[in-house]
Amino acid sequence: MKLTHIYIFFISLFFATHSILAQEAEKTTDSTETGYKQRYGIRFGVDISKPIRSLLDNNYTGLELVADYRFSKKFYIAGEIGNEKRLTDDDQLNFESSGSYIKLGVDYNAYDNWLNMGNSIYVGLRYAFSTFKHTLNSYNIYNTDFYWAEDLLMN
């Protein structure tokens, strides 16, 4: 009787270990399944606030073009180029300012996206160069002493 229990124990152990080993599936790799490919490349855009402001304000015109190039998973090379012109007409001054600028720098995407999402939260640094011109059209000298009742307007 003792010997029968020993045989049953070893036979049970044998089938238990082989059934556990049989549960492991073979690992197959599909050559077409490579995961999500990240998009790299250049992007172009326009700062739409400047054309909208140009339509709403008759004394302002401006345009800014932007571009960036993704060169790693988190970093972008960025550039912006623009031109603005503004006429200011106050009680004391009437002048026009105009200029062009270029900004070059690097952006860092601090946001980790889920699969197939393209959201971004950027932190960046820019180096800028600009040329500008101010033209004084007319000015009025501020005078608090109106003893002689003069109004000085210089053109």
Instruction: Please give the mean pLDDT across all residues of the chain.
Output: 82
| pLDDT (0 to 100) of residue 142 | 75
Which of the four pLDDT bands, split at 50, 70 and 90, describes residue 143? confident
The domains of the chain are located at 38-154
Cβ–Cβ under 8 Å, residues 105 and 125: yes
DSSP, collapsed to helix, strand or coil, labels residue 102 as strand
Quickly list DSSP for 16-52: HHHHHHHTPPPP---TT---PPPP-EEEEEE-THHHH
pLDDT tens digits along 38-96: 778 899 999 999 999 999 999 999 999 999 999 888 899 999 999 999 999 988 899 99
DSSP, collapsed to helix, strand or coil, labels residue 54 as helix
pLDDT at 24 over 60: no
| pLDDT (0 to 100) of residue 85 | 97
Residue 75: strand pairing partners: 108
What is the spatial distance between Cα 92 and Cα 138, in angstroms, rounded to a whole number?
8
Q: Which two tokens stand for residue 111?
A: 């946001």
| pLDDT (0 to 100) of residue 29 | 58
